[in-house]
């Protein structure tokens, strides 16, 4: 694992951090995809866990949630607006507009439903991070903000990778995977108002160039 902020580690992935999972104070933030079983399992082998908490319920973030929670006997947490998706009463990717090929690929990543033990809402705290509701990419998308040092575990409201070239590149999540891009842009601005010092995205390396992030936010379309 790699330390990406004080007390926060990112699980390794070769050759680059494409699907990120973070660990802080015994809490696992996101659960990758079902394809990541060996990678995550190997790094968890000697790691104590107290909870799995999700930024949102999409296949590349909830894929191993059930298996890890059952295997460790620990609770699962997500925002109230995504509980139905995690528990299987709403399709995990049901709000996304995708062609059949992408839909089939997403389904192959998806983990099975599992009961949500801890329902999160705005202002709750997890491992020293405050829960901030940031919908748009998903109904129940949240970021985890640590006010003491400005660290934000930010899921998919932004990405820091070009999916075609694999190079580091700050951008919005693809519209095809985002049910309301305009709402997601409002959520990005909400996070910018927190004055972050480092952003830990769901895809790509940490964002440490905050001046560059601020310029990116300023250039977003006004909806």
Q: What would the mean pLDDT of 173-200 be, rounded to a whole number?
A: 95
Tens of pLDDT along 52-76?
A: 999 999 999 999 999 999 999 999 9
User: pLDDT at position 69, please?
Assistant: 98
Please check the confidence at residue 39 and state whether its pLDDT lies above 90.
yes
Cα 19 from chain centre = 9
Tens of pLDDT along 207-223?
A: 999 999 999 999 999 87
19 token code pair: 């699907």
Q: What would the mean pLDDT of 21-47 be, rounded to a whole number?
A: 95
User: pLDDT at position 109, please?
Assistant: 77
Residue 189's pLDDT band (boundaries 50, 70, 90)?
very high
Burial state string for 198-211 with b = 16 or more CB within 10 A and e = fewer than 16: bbbbbbbbbbeeee
Residue 148's pLDDT band (boundaries 50, 70, 90)?
very high
Burial class (CB in 10 A: 0-12, 13-18, 19+), 137: buried
Tens of pLDDT along 113-129?
A: 999 999 999 999 999 99
Give me the chain's average pLDDT, please.
93
User: pLDDT at position 91, please?
Assistant: 83
Please check the confidence at residue 164 and state whether its pLDDT lies above 90.
no
Could you identify the residue written with the tokens 């040092």? 149
pTM of the model: 0.94
Could you identify the residue written with the tokens 């991070």? 129
Q: What would the mean pLDDT of 70-97 be, rounded to a whole number?
A: 89
Residue 97's pLDDT band (boundaries 50, 70, 90)?
low
Question: What whole-number percentage of the chain has pLDDT above 90?
Answer: 82
| CATH superfamily, with its number, for domain 2-218 | Ribonuclease Z/Hydroxyacylglutathione hydrolase-like (3.60.15.10)
Please check the confidence at residue 184 and state whether its pLDDT lies above 90.
yes
- Show Cβ contacts of residue 203 under 8 Å, excluding neighbours closer than 6 positions: 17, 18, 19, 20, 156, 159, 160, 161, 163
């Amino acid at each position: 694992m790699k330390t990406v902020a004080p007390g926060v580690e990112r699980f390794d992935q070769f050759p680059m951090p494409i699907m990120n999972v973070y660990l802080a104070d015994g809490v696992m933030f996101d659960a990758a995809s079902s394809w990541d079983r060996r990678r995550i399992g190997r790094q968890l082998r000697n790691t104590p866990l107290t909870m799995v908490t999700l930024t949102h319920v999409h296949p590349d973030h909830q894929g191993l949630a059930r298996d890890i929670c059952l295997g460790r006997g620990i609770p699962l947490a997500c925002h109230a607006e995504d509980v139905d998706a995690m528990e299987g009463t709403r399709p995990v990717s049901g709000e996304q507009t995708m062609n059949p090929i992408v839909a089939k690929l997403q389904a192959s990543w998806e983990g099975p439903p599992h009961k949500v033990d801890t329902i999160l809402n705005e202002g709750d705290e997890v491992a020293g991070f405050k829960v901030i509701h940031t919908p748009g990419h998903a109904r129940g998308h949240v970021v985890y903000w640590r006010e003491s040092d400005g660290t934000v575990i930010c899921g998919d409201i932004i990405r820091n990778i070009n999916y075609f070239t694999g190079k580091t590149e700050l951008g919005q999540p693809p519209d095809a995977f985002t049910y309301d891009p305009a709402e997601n842009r409002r959520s990005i601005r909400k996070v910018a108002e927190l004055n972050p010092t480092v952003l830990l995205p769901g895809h790509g390396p940490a964002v440490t160039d905050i001046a560059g992030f601020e310029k990116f936010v300023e250039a977003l379309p006004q909806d």
